[in-house]
Structure 1
Amino acid sequence: MTTAAVHVTGVSKIFRLAKGAETVALDGIDLAVAPGEFVSLIGPSGCGKSTLLRLIADLDQPTSGDIRVFGKTARAARIDQDYGIAFQQAGLLPWRTVAGNIELPLELHKVGKPARQSRAAELLALVGLSDVADRYPDQLSGGMQQRVAIARSLAESPELLLMDEPFGALDEMTRERMQAELVRICGETGAAVVFVTHSIPEAVFLSDRVVVMSPRPGRIRQIVDVALGSAGERADDLREASSFFAAVSAVREALHGSPVAEAASAARGVETR
């Protein structure tokens, strides 16, 4: 049996507040992500999407439940650098060049300079930025900065990427270009991805499955199988396909509920009063 890239079992997260108050951010989350699979988390603001990603990344700990990354505890996976991570802000160091930013994780792990430079050159080619290796972050557009951040997250050849709205601050045209780039990169690297987004079309275009979460306390409401082909088969013309619109509608219905289902639920509520 293949070990899951991510296996979340019975995970809940409670934040303790002042004067004994508490907020239940996540409740009873069960989720498995296969190696090489792209899974998006979507739901209303405050539903715990980013919290779940942070728990997988061992940036916080669950109140209860268990998280495994390639069979290891989240902490062991973090120490072993089994995943790369990218946030909405690129987080590049302004005093380091583009190549220097990409080399940073390797430098921290005592990788020799020739190997660092070779890997940075390889990744710059992968994200289409070989011609800006010697520039500094403030000389790049927002989309280019995010490509550098993605390249940096891939520096140690992780088999898992954790991404928290990495394109959320970009304009729509740049965002769509970055989505296409990410699909291509994932197809070439074979990395599994857990991706947080507020955008239904983005989730559908990128994902093999979309995990729809409920309002707080965050629970998994439904998992939608997108089934729009492999990464190598997803191009911009997919956005005009009837299958794409059908998948967008399925996720929207799971997120907001269908009018028919809501009416039936309301009727049942009246009948039981």
Structure 2
Amino acid sequence: MIESVPAGSGVASTDPLDAGSPAVVVSGVGRIFAGKRAERAVNALEQIDLVVAPGEFVSLIGPSGCGKSTLLRLIADLDTPTAGTITVFGKSARQARIDQEYGIAFQQAGLLPWRSVAANIELPLELHGVGAAVRKARASELLELVGLGDFAEKFPDQLSGGMQQRVAIARALAERPRLLLMDEPFGALDEMTRERMQNELVRICAETGAAVVFVTHSIPEAVFLSDRVVVMSPRPGRIREVLPVKLGTADARGEALREHAAFFESVGAVRELLHGAPTSGALGVER
């Protein structure tokens, strides 16, 4: 599924943490899911503090059930925190949703099977009253961006899973959001397709300058994509460490990066943290 919402296109910074007012601020956030009995309540998140800068790519990783997707849903105002506050570009999460400040991509592409590829991309623009000529031009631009310029008139069942996800990302970008919220968008893809999609996403982010909050279970994926990796603890989910990944700017990352020693070092550091071991060194762990 995709929700898509507008804003201006940001400009990525070589140092995201110095790039002006934050894209997302999460302050003291907790989420408890009530049960029929008090003792059955689930404490999903506890005391989450996180700042995402404009143009920054931040991945959330942790064991199953640690609250990664819950945190993403709270930022998107698809759920409400029990404690704490969240702002998106200085607005409450609720107001940011109303003002259509971000695009969302989930694991399933959620394309409408009766609409062509171009018509799927145009859908959020159509819903917001954008004229047909502008919609068509924007869809064409985005299809070229995601490498599907020849597939505008095809239908979703004529596309591979990876191609469907490219269309879904294009739809999330339709209204030029400054922020993308992505919940395991490549989780259902085979490994080769997944790596190709990671390459595409890095390129797209470099071109659009959008900030990204990205949920994943894959350590190599988190390292390859991110400016910072947020490692979360088992439930109740807390931020165990935030690791800057110093592997170059988005537009400099390519397939060869996966063979670099620094990449393997970063993957190892994240793995150690997920298993509860402390780490230090080249990544520059933030505490």
Q: TM-score, normalised by structure 2?
A: 0.89
> Which runs of no fewer than 5 residues in structure 2 stay unpaired?
1-18, 280-287
> Equivalent residue for 1:193?
212
1:242-257 superposed matches below 5 A: 242-257=261-276
Cα distance, 1:234 vs. partner?
A: 0.3
Q: Which amino acid aligns with 1:141?
A: S
> Equivalent residue for 2:20?
2
> Equivalent residue for 1:237?
256
Cα distance, 1:259 vs. partner?
A: 8.8
Cα distance, 1:3 vs. partner?
A: 1.3
Alpha-carbon distance between aligned partners in 1 of 2:28 and 2:120, rounded to the nearest angstrom: 37
> Equivalent residue for 2:35?
17
* 1:86 to 1:259, Cα distance in 2 relative to 1, 3 A: closer
Alpha-carbon distance between aligned partners in 2 of 1:187 and 1:212, rounded to the nearest angstrom: 24
1:91 alignment partner, one of 100, 110, 134: 110
1:82 alignment partner, one of 101, 106, 121: 101
Segments of 4+ moved more than 2 angstroms: 257-260
> Equivalent residue for 1:208?
227
Alpha-carbon distance between aligned partners in 2 of 1:212 and 1:19, rounded to the nearest angstrom: 31
Alpha-carbon distance between aligned partners in 2 of 1:109 and 1:244, rounded to the nearest angstrom: 42
Alpha-carbon distance between aligned partners in 2 of 1:155 and 1:259, rounded to the nearest angstrom: 41
1:127 alignment partner, one of 119, 133, 146: 146
> Equivalent residue for 1:32?
51
Q: Which amino acid aligns with 2:27?
A: T
1:107-118 superposed matches below 5 A: 107-118=126-137
Q: CA RMSD in A?
A: 1.1
- 1:86-124 residue CA offsets vs partner (Å, 9 max, x unmatched): 000000000100000000000010001100000000000
> Equivalent residue for 2:62?
43
Alpha-carbon distance between aligned partners in 1 of 2:199 and 2:116, rounded to the nearest angstrom: 25
> Which runs of no fewer than 5 residues in structure 1 stay unpaired?
261-273
Q: Which amino acid aligns with 1:172?
A: E
Deviates more, 1:213-222 or 1:72-81: 72-81
- 1:224-270 residue CA offsets vs partner (Å, 9 max, x unmatched): 1111000111000000000000110111111112399xxxxxxxxxx
- Of all paired residues, the percent bearing the same amino acid is 74
> Does residue 60 of structure 1 match 2:90?
no
> Does residue 100 of structure 1 match 2:119?
yes
Q: Which amino acid aligns with 2:41?
A: E
- Secondary structure of 1:132 counterpart: coil
Cα distance, 1:147 vs. partner?
A: 0.1
> Equivalent residue for 2:197?
178
Alpha-carbon distance between aligned partners in 1 of 2:110 and 2:190, rounded to the nearest angstrom: 18
Query: Which structure would you say has the larger Rg?
Result: 1
